[in-house]
Structure 1
């Protein structure tokens, strides 16, 4: 992670609010509510970035301007200095947000209660209560 650290000001910033399904677009959510996750923390986002092999720096002293009570943001570096991607599957900030939002619900800090029962009860229906009409 050493090569771009001096240039950390140029890194992309992801605030937890960007992928929070509890927030509206007006409040700052950047991806669809169905793909977003519930109340992510910047620590969870940082862990997910590390899992995706993307360099990141967690800044706990910073806050999102529209919701300055929620502290913390994550700086991420998507491309190496030569322009190649750290993770070939993630080329844009939006792709990263979608990937992270998919990983946060499975974060070790969250998966305590459901894990033992998942083999028997969750095997029945894939997503109960999802509802909605299918487009043809």
Structure 2
């Protein structure tokens, strides 16, 4: 991430909601649910941009307008000022969203979390109890 980059305001905005498979289209998802990923974060999106050699800028204080509890967004530069693509594989905002949604589940932070959770979930005790209705 480079803070001296010129005019970040003209860069493509990418909210994590755009590629979240848990959200509906009405809630802000922009790609089909089968290609989207589960609960992406700005850090994961930024790491994917770094891997794709795309300049990016994280804005943690910004919120998604439809759900102001969703904090953070990432601005990405797809085209240089002369019109040439920064990464020839990614020509549009839609390509960017699809590529990042494909990469996020393989993110190193997610793969280590899965390994930890599978080892700790086997030690968890089973829930016991009646679980019926309480009488008044």
TM-score class normalised by the smaller sequence? 0.7 to 0.9
- Equivalenced residue count is 115
Structure 2: gaps spanning 5 or more residues = 119-136
- The aligned counterpart of 2:65 is 65
Matched position secondary structure for 2:6: helix
Map of 1:39 onto structure 2: 39
Alignment partner of 1:90 is 2:80? no
Q: Give the match's secondary structure for 1:110.
A: helix
The structural deviation recorded for 1:6 is 2.5
Q: Distance in 2 between matches of 1:100 and 1:69?
A: 22
Cα-to-partner distance string for 1:4-51 (whole Å, 9 max, x where unaligned): 823111011000000000000000000000000000001100100110
SS at match of 2:111: coil
- 1:109 maps onto 2:109 in alignment: yes
Runs of 4 or more, structure 1, over 2 Å off, are none
Shift of 1:114: 4.7
Greater radius of gyration (CA): 2
User: Considering only aligned residues, what root-mean-square deviation do their CA atoms show, in Å?
Assistant: 1.8
SS at match of 1:6: coil
